[in-house]
Structure 1
Amino acid sequence: MFGSITDVLDTIVVDSESVEEKAKATGYLKVCQTFEIAFILHLMRDILAITNELNESLQKKEQDIANAILLVKVVKKRLQDLRNEGWDSLIENVSAFCVKSRRKVAEYTISHHYRVEVFFKIIDWQLQELNDRFNEVRTDLLIGVACLNPVDSFSSFDIKNILRMAELYPDDFGENVMVTLRNQLETYIVDVCDVDKRFSNLKGLGDLSEMLVKVKKHLNYPLVFRLIKFALLLPVATATVERAFSAMKLIKSEL
C-alpha cells in the first residue's frame, strides 16, 4: 500500500484547502520517502512475518501448548538465521525499492550504521524477549501442562515431561514424593484413558478437574490432582506473555 499512501499524501499537498493539512501532508511525505523508513518497513515486515504463526497460535482460545513451544523454537531459529544470513538480501530489496521509487540509496557508512545499530539490534531485542518470556523453566511448565491435557483421549500424555514439571515445585514434590507420583501417573493414565470411558470426551483441564472430583478419583490420585490444580493456575503466572503478544497484534493490525 506504500504507493497508494504516497499518492494520497501528494494529493493532499496539491489539493487541500487547509494550510495545516498541506503542511502535515508535506512533512509526512518527506519522511516516508527516506531510506530509513523504507529500511525499517522492510525489516519489520520480515520480522512480523517470522513471528506471525506464533502470534496467531498464542491468540487462540484453545491453546495447543506443545505446538506453541515448538513454534517458539522455530521463531528463534528463523530470527537467528535472518541475523546471520539475511542482511544482504534485505539491503538488496530495500535498495531496489528505493531505486524503483526514485529515492537515494544509502552509502556504505550509513549501511554499516543500519546493519549494526538497527538490523542487529532489533533482531537481538526480539530474541532476548523470546528468551526471557519462554525460558527453560517456563517451557518445561508449559509442556507439562500440555501433557496433562485430556484432549484427544490424552494423546499428549507424557510421564517424563510431567515429572519434569513436578520437579519445578520441590516444596510440594520432594524426592520421595516423586516416586509415588510416577506410580500414580502410570496407574492414572491406564484408568482414565483405557478403563473409565467417562473421561473419553473431555475438552480441557477444567473438564478433567471437574470429572476427577465428580467421580472421586481425585482421592485415588491426589498428587496427580495437585499437578492439575497447578496447571490450572499457571495461566495467571504467564499472563505477561499473552499481554506481550496482544501488544504485537495491536501493532500489526490497528496501527
Structure 2
Amino acid sequence: MAVVHVATTTAACLKEAIDSLFAKYGLSVARLRGQGYDGASNMSVEFNGLKSLIMKENPYTLYVHCFAHQLQLVVVTVAQENQYVCDFMWIVGSIVNISASSCKRADKLRQLEHDRKVKLLERGEISSGRGLNQETSLARPGDTQRGSHHSTLCHIEQMWPSVIEVLQNLIDDGDRSSKGLSRTLVERMERYEFVFILLLMKRILAITNHLSTVLQEKDQNIVNVMRLINNVKYKLQKLRDSGWDILLEDVKKFCNTHSIEIINMTDNINSRSRLKRDGKNVIEIILQEMDSCFSETTTDLLIYMSCLDPRNSFSRFDVQKLVRLTHFYEDDFSWNERMLVEQELETYIDDVRSDERFEGISDLGALAKKMIETMKNRMFPLVYRMIELALLLPVATATVERVFSAMNIVKTDLRNRIGDEWMNDSLAVYIEKDVFNTVDNEPILQRFHNMESRRMQLSRIR
C-alpha cells in the first residue's frame, strides 16, 4: 500500500503520479495486468479517464469496476427508475432525518423501543430478554455506504410502534414544519403500499447485502466473486418467479399486527396487480443493472477465469474457454504457447483430478500454493501463469476506499502539515492494525529509544 499526494484529481495528474510511483520502485506499467477503481468519471470515463490513459500504454491492464461499490449503486438506480421505490426511499430518508434531528428524540426512540420489548417480555410474547439492548438507532442510508439501506429498513420494521409514536409526538409537540412533515410520514407509513415496498426491498437487499459484505473482505478472488454473483442472480430470479405469495402473506400479517388497512383483493384487484407488477419490475431493474456492471469483454474474461475453480474436483474446468483466455493476454502467452496450451490443459486436468493431494482445495489461492508445494507449477507453467493472472486481477477496491476513510482519522487538524512519508507510514499502521497487533511493542520501543540519546528509558506498554 502506498499513499501519494496529488495536486489535483484529474486523470492526467493521477497518471503522472502513478508513473512516478512506479519509477520510484523500479516497476513498469507494461507489466500491469489489471486495474480497478470506484467508477468515478475521472477514473473510468471511456476516452480521457485514468483507465483509458493506462490502457493506451498497456492494453492488457483490463479494467474491472469495483464490485462492492457498483452493487450498492444498484439501489440508487432502482430508486431513480421506479416511482414506487423512489417515493419509498424519500419517506425512509425523511423518517431517519426527523427521528434523529435531536439527541433527545433519538434517545426517546431508543427508550421507547426498549420499554416496548420489556412489556412484550413481561406478557410472555417474546421468550427471552435477548436483544433488549441491541442497536435501536435509525442509521441514515447512504448511496455508497454498504449495507446501510438494509440495516435501516430492518430497524424501521423492528421499531415500527416506536417510530410511529415518536412521529405522533412531533405532530402534537413539534414546530410547524415538523408537525406537517410528521403527519405526512405517518399517513404514508400506514398504507398498504408502504408496507409492501418495505418488505419487498428488505428481501431484495438481504439477498444483495451478503454479497456486498463478502466483497469488502480482503483477498477476494475472481472465482469466488463470480460464484457469489451468480448465486445472487439466482435468488433474485427465484424471488421474482415464486416469492410473491409468501411476500403478500407477510405483508398481510404485518398490516394486521399494526392495524393497517389491507387492500381488498376483490374490489382493488387492479391496485394489487399494479403493486405486484411493480415489485417484479424492481427485481428486473436490479438484475439488468447487475448484468451491466461488466462490459462484454470483462464478463467473458471473468467467466473464462472461473473455469480454473478447483472446487468439486474442478467441475467447472473447460479447456476451450481457458484456451480463449490466453488471447486476452497475448503479451503473456506467445503464439507458440497459445498453440501448446490446449494439450497442457488436458494433461493438467487429468493429473490433478487423479492426485489425492488436490482433493478438498476450495479456492485459487490454495490451488496456487499446492501447485508450488508439489512442483506442478514447473510441470504446467502455462496453467500456473493463468492462475497467477486470475489472482492478480482486482475485483473490489473496498480496501483501497477504506484508505480514504482512514485519512480523515489520521490526518486531523493537528496533523494538517504531515508529510507524505509520515502519512503513508501512519496509514499503513492504522489500516493494517490486525497485522501490527501481532507485533511485540518492546522491540519497537527499544528501536525508538536507540535512535538518539534520551534522559530516561522508555517504559513498557502494558
Q: Give the TM-score of the pair, scaled to structure 1.
A: 0.64
Q: How far is the alpha carbon of 1:111 from its aligned partner?
A: 0.7
* Counterpart for residue 70 of structure 1: 227
Aligned length, in residue pairs:
216
* Counterpart for residue 239 of structure 2: 82
Give 1:110's match in structure 2, choosing from 258, 268, 271.
Answer: 271
Q: How far is the alpha carbon of 1:179 from its aligned partner?
A: 4.1
Cα 1:12–1:162 change in 2 (3 A) is: farther
Give 2:285's match in structure 1, choosing from 103, 119, 125.
Answer: 125
* Counterpart for residue 13 of structure 1: 171
Distance 1:158 1:42 in 2: 37
Matched, 1:167 2:328: no
Matched, 1:59 2:216: yes
Cα 1:166–1:6 change in 2 (3 A) is: farther
Is 1:34–1:103's contact at 8 Å kept on the other side of the alignment? yes
Q: How far is the alpha carbon of 1:40 from its aligned partner?
A: 0.8
Cα 1:229–1:69 change in 2 (3 A) is: closer
User: Which of 76-85 and 40-49 deviates more?
Assistant: 76-85
Cα 1:170–1:138 change in 2 (3 A) is: closer
Computed over aligned residues only, the root mean square deviation of the Cα atoms, in angstroms, reads 4.2
Cα 1:230–1:74 change in 2 (3 A) is: closer
Structure 2: 5+ residue stretches without partners: 1-158, 356-363, 403-462
| Greater relative contact order structure (CA < 8 Å, 6+ sep) | 2
Q: How far is the alpha carbon of 1:101 from its aligned partner?
A: 2.0
Q: Show the 5 A alignment for 1:134-153.
A: 137-143=300-306
Is 1:66–1:142's contact at 8 Å kept on the other side of the alignment? yes
Distance 2:214 2:308 in 1: 16
Is 2:222–2:390's contact at 8 Å kept on the other side of the alignment? no
Is 2:308–2:314's contact at 8 Å kept on the other side of the alignment? no
Cα 1:158–1:79 change in 2 (3 A) is: closer
Cα 1:158–1:87 change in 2 (3 A) is: closer
Is 1:79–1:123's contact at 8 Å kept on the other side of the alignment? yes
Q: How far is the alpha carbon of 1:165 from its aligned partner?
A: 4.1
Is 1:35–1:104's contact at 8 Å kept on the other side of the alignment? yes
* Counterpart for residue 36 of structure 1: 193
Cα 1:76–1:232 change in 2 (3 A) is: closer
* Counterpart for residue 249 of structure 1: none
Distance 1:174 1:105 in 2: 68
Cα deviation, 1:38-65, whole Å, max 9, x if unaligned, reads 1111001111222233222222112154
Is 1:140–1:161's contact at 8 Å kept on the other side of the alignment? no
Distance 2:326 2:286 in 1: 30
Cα deviation, 1:72-120, whole Å, max 9, x if unaligned, reads 232222222211111122122212322332222232110111111x211
Give 1:234's match in structure 2, choosing from 393, 415, 431.
Answer: 393
Distance 1:44 1:8 in 2: 24
- SS state at 1:68 partner: helix
State percent identity of aligned pairs: 31
Q: How far is the alpha carbon of 1:170 from its aligned partner?
A: 2.0
Distance 1:162 1:4 in 2: 59
Cα 1:63–1:155 change in 2 (3 A) is: farther
Structure 1: 5+ residue stretches without partners: 148-153, 195-202, 212-216, 247-255
* Counterpart for residue 214 of structure 1: none
Give 2:340's match in structure 1, choosing from 164, 180, 188.
Answer: 180
Matched, 1:26 2:183: yes
Distance 2:388 2:257 in 1: 59
Is 2:307–2:321's contact at 8 Å kept on the other side of the alignment? yes
Residue type of the alignment partner of 1:78: K
Is 1:159–1:182's contact at 8 Å kept on the other side of the alignment? no
Q: How far is the alpha carbon of 1:139 from its aligned partner?
A: 3.6
User: Which of 53-62 and 33-42 deviates more?
Assistant: 53-62
Distance 2:344 2:262 in 1: 66
Cα deviation, 1:166-188, whole Å, max 9, x if unaligned, reads 5134261577523433566768x
Distance 1:129 1:159 in 2: 26
Residue type of the alignment partner of 2:245: D
Is 1:87–1:115's contact at 8 Å kept on the other side of the alignment? yes
- SS state at 1:71 partner: helix
The structure with more radius of gyration? 2
- SS state at 1:170 partner: helix
Q: Give the TM-score of the pair, scaled to structure 2.
A: 0.38
- SS state at 1:167 partner: helix
Give 1:4's match in structure 2, choosing from 162, 171, 175.
Answer: 162
Cα 1:228–1:92 change in 2 (3 A) is: closer
